[in-house]
Chain A
Amino acid sequence: MLYALLCYNHEDVVCGWSEAEDAAVMEKLAAVQDGLRAERKLGPVARLMPTSSAMTLRKDQEPPIIVDGPFAETKEALLGFYILDCVDADEALEIAKRLGEANPGGSYELRPVRMFQPNSAAAG
């Protein structure tokens, strides 16, 4: 079963990390990711730019309107996501805990994936 692991945290906190702190967190996460990759459980991983760079297309009206900012102003913003290949929910939660130990604070939402197309857009 594929799971999407959606990373939520306070943007003020994460954007406030110094470059050294940011690098330290990324290094710890990379170690966990390497393990998951070796176990062939890791799909695409993405870290999103801050919500201030977001635009939202509201398509519930004609013509659609473009709004600056994220879809929802939430205290904890969606800052990134993983696609994981897990045997069951227990394993997905176990992986989430491992990632959480590397990067405490905030929350991970686990959502089973209904449809997945890896496609081939070049990595940025």
Chain B
Amino acid sequence: MTEAAWIEAALSGARPQAMGALLRYFRNLDTAEEAFQEACLRALKSWPRNGPPRDPAAWLIMVGRNAGIDAARRVSRQQALPDDEAAVSDLEDAESDLADRLDGSHYRDDLLRLLFTCCHPDLPATQQIALALRIVCGLSVREIARAFLVSEAAMEQRITRAKGRIARAGLPFETPNAADRAARVGAVAAMIYLVFNEGYSARAAQAGAHNDLCHEAIRLGRLLLRLFPTEPELMGLLSLMLLQHARAAARFDAKGEVVLLEAQDRGLWNAQAIGEGLALLDKAMRHVRSGPYQVQAAIAALHARATAPDDTDWAQIERLYATLERMEPSPVITLNRAVAVSKTAGPEAALAVVEPLSGPLANYFHFHGLRGGLLAQLGRSREAAEAFGRAIALAGTPAEAAHIRQHLDRLALTGQNCTD
């Protein structure tokens, strides 16, 4: 790894903790962010010359705090102070040790406050995600905008609005009680999984940003689990993301089109990520306190464990989806169960599960895709073609539409064979 790459990794690794501490000092997101940026600039000058500090986060907190205080003084005096770079580059280990002692004890609270701030209950999910990616992960506005396929100006505005709302609502500096805390941790976990799903979606893949977002979500998941190391649902969340992301290299072909699970080259799956996901799930299940993330991770684990599509334990997957339906009733989960039913009990049984969903999922691409597929298997070609047509109309990406078109072509071929 080059020096520049190492420094960049150290800066982004230290970022959440340093931002959390600076937010505690300055109680304002913008000031904390500016102080952190300034500390990073000085690190880029000082670290190559003096070597990396033993504790990058403590260094950044110390330097960022001083920079923030100087900036405030300059503003209040309306005049520039002499450049104090020399003082900074001479920062003694003793000083950084002091910062370390001051901040080490706050580590957990600082990080939690930072995460809770980004997941403030007053903010809509889209703003929570944008803010977390900007503030905690340090992605640039341009990178976030690209991942969400919006203009940079629109994303800038979204983040500014989010900050404005937080400033008006007041930062959560009090320690929340146990019930509040659980709800807020749940909100942070939900935000992290939304970031992951955004990255996992075909839409982000087309923008070339899918790995970035999945990577950031996994990092945030690790961070949150480290704060609550005994919480099985957070183990489940990290396990779920690792198991799903393990398939990243196999999910798209050379043309960028989606490769379905059944057709993926399982040799491209990331064995290390699968290993970690399985270990975390194993650990979570020992707590015997199940939850939606653990159940979804268990489903992903059954896919990951199958060395070939035919080895998939669909009966167990069907049971797990049924469990998930009881925990979080949703037509999309029922639709997923229908896929498992089609493998264990055939297309007719699956269609019986699918048909009642026609109301709530009328505008859902995958509903029409699956329904078309089941109808085709049952030889009801005309209805299948209608369903596929509906799916194409609702496809979110050209790749999704192309995939359904293949089904339609196959249908047309078999139709010809019948008439021949």
- Residues of chain A whose beta carbon lies under 8 Å from any beta carbon of chain B: 10, 12-19, 21, 24-25, 28, 49-53, 55, 66-69, 75, 103-105, 124
Residues of B within 8 A of A15 (CB): 13, 219, 222
B279 sits at the interface (CB 8 A): yes
Query: A50-B222, A52-B280, A68-B283 given as contacts; is B9 within 8 A of A104 (CB)?
Result: no
Shortest Cβ-Cβ A-B pairs, 4 listed: A13-B13, A12-B13, A69-B229, A68-B230
B127 sits at the interface (CB 8 A): no
Query: A12-B17, A68-B229, A104-B1 given as contacts; is B280 within 8 A of A53 (CB)?
Result: yes
Q: Smallest CB-CB separation from B100: which chain A residue? A: A75
Query: A28-B1, A68-B230, A69-B230 given as contacts; is B283 within 8 A of A105 (CB)?
Result: no
Residues of A within 8 A of B52 (CB): 104-105
Complex Cα gap A68–B356 (Å) = 43
CB distance from A71 to the nearest CB of B (A): 12
- Whether A52 pairs with B229 at a CB distance below 8 angstroms is yes
Residues of A within 8 A of B283 (CB): 53, 55, 68
CB distance from A77 to the nearest CB of B (A): 10
- Whether A105 pairs with B229 at a CB distance below 8 angstroms is no
Contact pick for B5, options A12, A14, A21, A75, CB 8 Å: A21
Complex Cα gap A21–B16 (Å) = 20
Residues of B within 8 A of A105 (CB): 6, 9-10, 52
- Whether A13 pairs with B225 at a CB distance below 8 angstroms is no
- Residues of chain B whose beta carbon lies under 8 Å from any beta carbon of chain A: 1, 3, 5-6, 9-10, 12-14, 16-17, 52, 55-57, 104, 211, 215, 219, 222-223, 225-226, 229-230, 235, 238, 275-276, 279-280, 283, 286
21 sampled A-B residue pairs with Cβ under 8 A = A10-B10, A10-B13, A10-B14, A12-B16, A13-B14, A15-B219, A16-B9, A17-B9, A24-B5, A49-B279, A50-B222, A50-B276, A51-B226, A52-B225, A52-B280, A53-B279, A55-B283, A68-B230, A75-B55, A104-B1, A104-B52
Main secondary structure of the interface of B (DSSP, over half): helix
Complex Cα gap A107–B57 (Å) = 16
Residues of A within 8 A of B13 (CB): 10, 12-16
Q: Smallest CB-CB separation from B232: which chain A residue? A: A68
5 further interface pairs, Cβ-Cβ under 8 Å (given A21-B1, A69-B230): A15-B13, A16-B219, A68-B283, A105-B10, A105-B52
Query: A10-B13, A75-B55 given as contacts; is B276 within 8 A of A49 (CB)?
Result: yes
CB distance from B138 to the nearest CB of A (A): 10
Contact pick for A13, options B10, B215, B238, CB 8 Å: B10
CB distance from B188 to the nearest CB of A (A): 16
- Whether B56 pairs with A53 at a CB distance below 8 angstroms is no
Residues of A within 8 A of B12 (CB): 16
CB distance from B227 to the nearest CB of A (A): 10
- Whether B9 pairs with A13 at a CB distance below 8 angstroms is yes
Residues of B within 8 A of A24 (CB): 1, 5
- Whether A18 pairs with B215 at a CB distance below 8 angstroms is yes
CB distance from B34 to the nearest CB of A (A): 22
